[in-house]
Amino acid sequence: MSEGRQCLVNNIIKQLQHAVQRTIYVNDSVDDLQKGLLNSINHVFGDHFECQNDCQEAGNINNTILEEYGILYHIKAALDRVVMLAENLIGNETSNKAEMFMSLLAKYNAGKRLNLITRGSFETQANIAVLRYNKGINWHADSWRNITDTEEGENLKIFLKRMVAKEQSRKQLVNKNISKTESSTGSKQTKKSHNTDYGPSVPATVSVAVNL
């Protein structure tokens, strides 16, 4: 067991974390996600026999070190909880919805630095955060159409197009960082990937009344 623990250096632990994150990101069905999660351990330690086509080493077995130590069973035991909750992970759903909403509220509230003496100031910021959480990046256009029953202006369209492109670039960067970490065994990760548990990408909605 002590020899097996020597395999769990910081770099390997980070690779395990990113392998799980990537598996959650690329799978659309519960069954595929569960299989991918269980195989993520083998993938990190060089056993790619059950890897899918998105893995460049699919079908190869470069390392069988996990078979030599009992540490494999302890890692799988820790992963069982994630596998059991695979259904909740589809579509980027998490158990941190309240915290994600509060992070958006803090963003629109300028980190609590706004002048809240003005009547309705905080309520307005909370309503904006609700719209951003529920509607996503295009909340401006949806709100405009609901209120005015007309199409949004050209300037707003340009702004939203820029925001959508920025969000797509962010997601591509997350994938790039994960792939880079997986392919650079022994190298240190210089940049942390975005935590998908906190942000507007989760499609779930919050039940807060919005009066605009």
Residue-wise pLDDT for 12-57, tens only, equals: 777 777 777 777 766 667 788 888 888 887 777 777 777 776 676 6
Scan for tokens 């779930």, then name that residue. Answer: 204
Which DSSP string do the residues of 28-73 spell out, in sequence order?
A: -SHHHHHHHHHHHHHHHTTB-TT--TTSTTTT-B---GGGGSTHHH
What confidence tens digit (pLDDT) does each residue in 101-153 have?
777 777 666 655 556 666 667 778 788 888 888 888 888 888 888 888 888 88
**8 Å CB contact between 8 and 71:** yes
Please give the Cα distance from 124 to 128 (Å, whole number): 6
Q: Is the pLDDT of residue 210 over 50?
A: no
Query: Rounded to an integer, what distance in angstroms lies between the CA atom of residue 87 and that of residue 133?
Result: 21
User: Do residues 3 and 69 touch, judged by C-beta distance below 8 A?
Assistant: yes
Q: What angle do CA 143, 91, 167 make, to 5 degrees?
A: 55
- Residues 161-179 have a mean pLDDT of 74
Instruction: Render pLDDT for 53-78 as a digit per residue (tens, 0 to 9).
Output: 667 667 676 665 666 666 677 777 87
* DSSP state at residue 153: P
The confidence score (pLDDT) of residue 101 equals: 72
Mean residue pLDDT of the chain comes to 69
DSSP state of 207: -
Report in angstroms the alpha-carbon separations of 79 from 16, 83, 165, 180.
10, 6, 34, 23
Q: Supply the DSSP symbol for 208.
A: -
Q: Do residues 108 and 46 make contact, with C-beta atoms less than 8 angstroms apart? A: no
- Residue ranges of alpha helices (H) inside the chain are 2-5, 10-26, 30-44, 71-84, 86-89, 97-108, 121-135, 139-148, 154-183
If phi > 0 it is left, if psi is from -120 to 50 it is alpha, else beta; for residue 112 that is: left
Tokens for 54, please give them.
């998105």
Q: Return d(Cα 33, Cα 84) in angstroms, integer.
A: 11
